[in-house]
A = this chain, B = another copy of it.
Amino acid sequence: MPESHYPEIRALNLFEGMDETHFQSLMRGAYVQNFPPQIELIGEGEPSDFLHVVLSGSVDLFSSWNGRETSLATVRPISTFILAATIRNAPYLMSARTLEKSRIVLIPSQDVRAIFDVDSNFARAIVAELAQCYRAVIKSQKDLKLRTSLERLANYLLRQQKRAGGGAAFELDFEKRRLASVLGMTPENLSRAFKGLQPYGLIVDGIRVSIGNQAELEKFAKPNPLIDDFTL
């Protein structure tokens, strides 16, 4: 792998505290690859041969069963995915595909496990990362089980608004069909859900969204840090 990528990878929480020798050793076995959009990187059920790091572009994690499919998460630069499978040396639970042209680092799982065994700073960083991921999924579970689709959309919009800087107008960072899947509904229903939020001053034009009545929307959405605050 070209050394030019080292600093950005090294800067990740996961790698920043580890021994330099160990980091070099991990990087020696790793390689970077460029993928076009819509390429399936891994399939659920396959053995976890590589820990992946997204350097640029974005990756969709999804799963299928009985002819149905659902998006579980989107990975954006710079972060890793399928850490848990790598650590447990267990099959992937999700498939992954590129959403756009993406540059991805592949680090052999056995190297990760080997370094994990000898570098306790790395092990600790992995703990922090896994605990974070675990809590994120729990929040998502609560979102799904406690809220209707309209409420999920409203809260998603409020979160996205905050991420985009907090202004009344902002842009969706998903294709709508995939947003629907992430939120656990059909595209048709998402369309109707957007209309259902019009009474709260919501205006949607393609990818652009604007919240006309912030107070009313929040009153309806009832955002809760224990579900919606992803830093917690």
Binding site for B on A (CB under 8 A): 44-45, 63-66, 68-70, 72, 83-85, 87-88, 90-91, 93-94, 116-117, 120, 123-124, 126-128, 130-135, 137-142, 144-147, 184, 222, 224, 226-227, 232
The residue in A65, A144, A145, A222 that gathers the most chain B C-beta atoms within 10 A of its C-beta is A145
- Give the CA-CA distance A68 to B116 in the complex, in Å: 42
- Give the CA-CA distance A207 to B226 in the complex, in Å: 35
- Give the CA-CA distance A70 to B232 in the complex, in Å: 21
Residues of B within 8 A of A65 (CB): 142, 146-147, 222, 224, 227
Known: A224-B65, A226-B93, A232-B90. A127 touches B134 (CB 8 A): no
CB distance from A8 to the nearest CB of B (A): 24
User: Do the beta carbons of B93 and A128 come within 8 Å of each other?
Assistant: no
A-B contacts, 24 listed (Cβ < 8 Å):
A63-B146, A65-B222, A65-B224, A66-B147, A66-B222, A72-B142, A83-B131, A84-B130, A84-B131, A87-B127, A87-B128, A88-B128, A88-B132, A93-B142, A123-B123, A123-B127, A127-B127, A137-B137, A137-B138, A137-B141, A140-B141, A141-B141, A144-B144, A144-B184
CB distance from A70 to the nearest CB of B (A): 4
Give the secondary structure class of A's interface. helix
Apart from A65-B227, A70-B142, A141-B144, 4 more pairs, CB < 8 Å: A85-B135, A88-B132, A88-B135, A93-B135
Known: A65-B222, A147-B65. A94 touches B138 (CB 8 A): yes
Residues of B within 8 A of A226 (CB): 44-45, 63, 91, 93
Nearest CB to that of A182 among chain B residues? B145
Q: Nearest 8 CB-CB pairs, A to B?
A: A120-B120, A84-B131, A130-B130, A65-B146, A70-B145, A137-B137, A134-B134, A87-B131
